[in-house]
Structure 1
Amino acid sequence: MRHTVSISFALVKLLEAGRIAGTVIAETICTHDDYKAEFEAAKEELRSVLGLPHV
């Protein structure tokens, strides 16, 4: 039983660390001007390919 608790605790901590790392990475990427321009261009391209109206 003790090993199960330890493994569960470690898994929870690992998941929390991944969530935090993902948040930091996303925030870093989204604040760069190059990313914003490329993201907007990619959105327009995807909408065109899918036949959706441009917003």
Structure 2
Amino acid sequence: MGIIIILICISLLIAVLFLGVFYWNMKNGQYDDTYTPSVRMLFEDKPEGEPKDNH
């Protein structure tokens, strides 16, 4: 029974650690994409019915 409590505590600690790292990355702009929106209009979308190139 004691090992289950230890494992739950360790898993909660790891989850909180990953949540903290994710929050820190969001605050520092890790996931901000500043390049793609500026060049998105330069690339044409292929129509739905057109087959894709298999090069």
Q: TM-score, normalised by structure 1?
A: 0.56
Over aligned residue pairs, what C-alpha RMSD do you find?
2.8
- Structure 2 gaps of 5+ residues are 48-55
Aligned length: 44
CA separation of 1:24/1:36 partners in 2, compared to 1, >3 Å: closer, same or farther? same
| Distance in 2 between residues matched to 1:4 and 1:50, nearest whole Å | 54
Task: State how far apart, in whole Å, the 2-side matches of 1:8 and 1:50 are.
Answer: 50
Larger Rg: 2
> Segments of 4+ in structure 1 off by > 2 A?
39-42, 48-51
- Name the CA shift for 1:49/1:6 in 2 (closer, same or farther; >3 Å): farther
Instruction: Pick 1 or 2: higher relative contact order, CA cutoff 8 A, min separation 6.
Output: 1
> Percent identity over the alignment?
2
TM-score by length of 2: 0.56
Structure 1, unpaired ranges of 5+: none
The answer to which structure has the higher helix fraction is 1
